[in-house]
Amino acid sequence: MRGLENRASRAGAARQTLKAGSAAVALAALGLSLTACATGGTGARDEGPAGSDAVTGTAQTPMASATSAPRRVDAVKILQDDPSVSPAVKSALKPCVADEYPVDVSYGKLTGGSTNDVVVNVMTCADAVGVGSYVYREKNGRYENVFKAEEPPVYAEIDRGDLVVTQQLYAKGDPVSYPSSEEVITYGWSLAHFAEESRIHNDYSKAVGGSAEPTLPPPGN
């Protein structure tokens, strides 16, 4: 599926490749809609992802120093205990292999707190389609949800202290592997919530990588 794979050449925004796959599978099976918390807006640049395509639901480790690796959290448990996470996303939150969950976790400073915030992206096992993106902020030893987006395909990143959410969009008749466009939305933390700072809309060419049959020159030319 095109999208974030081509963002660098299309829009000059060199961000991490959005998890690609059959978005139609996730759209039909999950029927999710994009929502944002009243206190927030959509994994990771500053610290890097905690794992590759999946992480295990492990217990929290002791607090690390500012110069050591970030404190790891049990992202799966946080999602399961969060009532604001939709039932559709929770139903997709199952191990793909053994105890490996389809979850990307990133750590970085987004909300101005003394500890790292946590960005969690939930994907489908089969196609690695992003079905939910969340930001959690530590408060009194617990993690509170300050942002969510639940319309696939979606992916959230930390970029130089800002939250960047990429949402691919489909027009009527689009092949499932070729969305027509995408929106890249940048949010900054303001007082007690995320505020939109910029929005970039990228339209994809229908002549490149699409499903249309090529036009061949007449015989003999």
Q: Encode the chain in three state secondary structure.
A: CCCHHHHHHHHCCCCCCCCCCCHHHHHHHHCCCCCCCCCCCCCECCCCECCCCCEECCCCCCCCCCCCCCCCCCHHHHHHHCCCCCHHHHHHCCCCECCEECEEEEEECCCCCCCCEEEEEEECCCCCCEEEEEEEEEECCEEEEEEEECCCCEEEEEECCEEEEEEEECCCCCCCCCCCEEEEEEEEEECCEEEEEEEEEEECCCCCCCCCCCCCCCCCC
Q: For residues 102 and 191, which has the higher predicted lDDT (pLDDT)?
A: 102
Q: Is the pLDDT of residue 45 over 50?
A: no
The residue ranges of every structural domain in the chain are 4-55+73-203
Q: Is the pLDDT of residue 18 over 80?
A: no
At 122 the pLDDT is: 97
At 149 the pLDDT is: 96
- Residues 155-205 have pLDDT tens digits of 999 999 999 999 989 888 887 678 899 999 999 999 889 999 999 999 998
Task: Report the alpha-carbon distance of residue 118 to residue 76 in Å, rounded.
Answer: 12
Q: For residues 91 and 34, which has the higher predicted lDDT (pLDDT)?
A: 91
- Residues 52-73 have pLDDT tens digits of 444 444 445 455 444 556 788 9
Q: Is the pLDDT of residue 36 over 70?
A: no
At 34 the pLDDT is: 38
At 57 the pLDDT is: 45
At 210 the pLDDT is: 54
At 173 the pLDDT is: 84
